[in-house]
Amino acid sequence: MAEFTLDLNDDQKQVRDWLHGFAADVMRPAAAEWDEREETPWPIIQEAAKLGIYSLDFYAQQFFDPTGLGIPMAMEELFWGDAGIALSIVGTGLAAVGVLANGTEEQIGTWIPQMYGDVNDVKVAAFCSSEPDAGSDVASMRTRAVYDEAKDEWVLNGTKTWATNGGIANVHVVVACVDAELGSKGHASFIVPPNTPGLSQGQKFQKHGIRASHTAEVVLEDVRIPGSCLLGGKDKLDERLARAREKAKAGGGERVKNAAMATFEASRPAVGAMAVGTARAAYEVALDYAKTREQFGRPIIDNQGIAFQLADMRTQIDAARLLVWRASWMATTGKPFTAAEGSMSKLFASEVAKKVTAQAIQILGGNGFTREYPVERMHRDAAIYTIFEGTSEIQRLVIARTLSGMQIR
């Protein structure tokens, strides 16, 4: 029987240290500038591509790490560097996961490379699910996909919102409704290829945090895409819809997974790891500050009020990391989330990030409230973790439903 260990192996340690060096030497010095500019940091993405960090090969290697720790380890280190820049680097990954979760081998091989481009011409991709009137309530989605059988084309109409890289992406993955009567079970995912007529960027959002990451509306007006751009293919979709209709007629409660949820379930532990990275960054700043800042003739860490806060911060960060690692290991080894462990990891880690970054500001006092110190930015960045890819309230709902087996509302 294999010995139980939480130690990273030598390869993992090497990757971790490599990413940490990039985060410390390239991302952190540029973090404040790109936060103020509120623009996509293309030069840093380009540098990441040159080093092999922004590439399909790198993420594939981490994704297929047999321990499951490759992706969360990478996310933690990059988001320790800076959340906004890191999201610009890894945001394409959500679209790639959408294709991996729902696409055929041919679709995966065709479209994921186009999401990243190459070292000399980097590209990004966008996953488009949320809508102005359908965020957490995915059943209310209004974007429609209608099949034109004569031309073997799908026609998409609607507006997506809160799309990372929306409008500037080379490839957009769009979740749309194909059968409104089935609610969220009538959804499917589609690839919108580069330069497809009818797709345009709507409003670009000026955000509270993660401001170096581009977030915008995506408008779809009679967007025509080939039938082959339906992820998974039409036969699979027809089979799934027929099964859902039969269950609806029979009043059955069997769960039929929809396209957006398949993507989010695969990515929630990774979001938890992002939150851990931001929390850890803020904790380290606060710890260093408390050890060097003197008041009344001694470092402020000599006071229990400060020292105990730091002890709690570190304990919560480590607990969050363990939940993320457990969920990631379970997903990789094929163990089912019988207690919604993926949602647990995202819920706890995101709440910890908000709390720890707020405590860091408090420990730094007035300095923490200024942009001269990074904890102010980290606190703004941390707010997103309890919102995107399922709010904390939605995570609690998922956990409660899973534990009880009841459709809690």
**Spatial distance between the Cα atoms of 78 and 270, rounded to a whole number of angstroms:** 12
Alpha carbon 372 to its chain's center: 28
Alpha carbon 85 to its chain's center: 13
Q: What is the CA radius of gyration of the chain?
A: 22
CB 102 within 8 A of CB 263: yes
Joined tokens for residue 8: 């990273």
> 47, 265, 389, 393: which is the annotated catalytic residue?
389
Residue for token pair 């800042």: 293
Calculate helix-pair angle for 70-81, 304-332, nearest 10 degrees.
140
**What sign for the dihedral angle of Cα 110, 113, 116, 120?**
negative
Distance spanning both ends of the chain, measured CA to CA? 44
CB 259 within 8 A of CB 107: no
Joined tokens for residue 177: 């409704």
Residues 143, 140, 395, 95, Cα dihedral to 10°: -10
Task: Examine the residue annotation and report whether 389 is marked as an active-site residue of this protein.
Answer: yes
**Spatial distance between the Cα atoms of 57 and 72, rounded to a whole number of angstroms:** 16
Residue for token pair 């709390």: 355
CB 350 within 8 A of CB 392: yes
Joined tokens for residue 353: 């990030």
| Catalytic residue IDs | 389
